[in-house]
Amino acid sequence: MGVLRALTLAALWWLCKSWATVFADAGKAIVANRILAAGTEPNRIAWGTGAGTAVVGDTTLFSESADETRATGSSSRVTVTITNDTYQVTGTMTAVTSPKTITNAGLFDAASGGNMLIKGDFTGIPLGVGDSIAFTIRLRLGN
């Protein structure tokens, strides 16, 4: 049986970097589309194994793993400061074919390709086959 680790990525709409996490430029377009009832909900979680520092202009992860498919997360609104001020997606990804070290993760609006809402980079988390990370990814629309 594998090991389960928990990780939270959080981005504030007005703060480009919080806990090494960014609200991507493409994510701003996703939010505008969703206000107009257009576009697709960004509830797909992906992880990467490459090195780098997330910046708002990024459109992809650093070396997104091709071994696992993106996880479809469960979305909700949660309260941090003001009622329902935060969009939250939770989901778990499991290493299925080989050991790897996960260094970044993101939230997308498609099972492959698509647009990235949030990206976070972090100190590498080594995983063996069967090990998992339970992600909580949040976009807080407040101060």
**What CA–CA distances, in Å, run from 31 to 5, 15, 127?**
29, 16, 33
Kindly state the DSSP code that residue 15 receives in the 8-state scheme. B
Q: What is the pLDDT of residue 64?
A: 96
Residues 67-79: b if buried by 16+ CB within 10 A, e if exposed:
eeebbebeeeeee
- Spatial CA neighbour of 119 closest among 30, 40, 32, 25: 25
Residue with tokens 């959080």, as numbered in its chain: 10
Residues of the chain with pLDDT under 70: 1-20, 143
- Per-residue DSSP letters for 100-126? EEEEEEEEESSSSS--EEEEEEEEEEE
pLDDT of residue 141: 82
Q: How many domains does the structure of the chain reveal?
A: 1
pLDDT in tens, 42-75: 999 999 999 999 999 999 999 999 999 999 999 9
- What pLDDT does residue 20 have? 64
pLDDT of 58 reads 94
Tell me the residue range of the domain where 136 lies.
4-140
Q: What is the pLDDT of residue 1?
A: 54
- In this prediction, residue 119 carries a pLDDT of 94
pLDDT score recorded for residue 45: 96
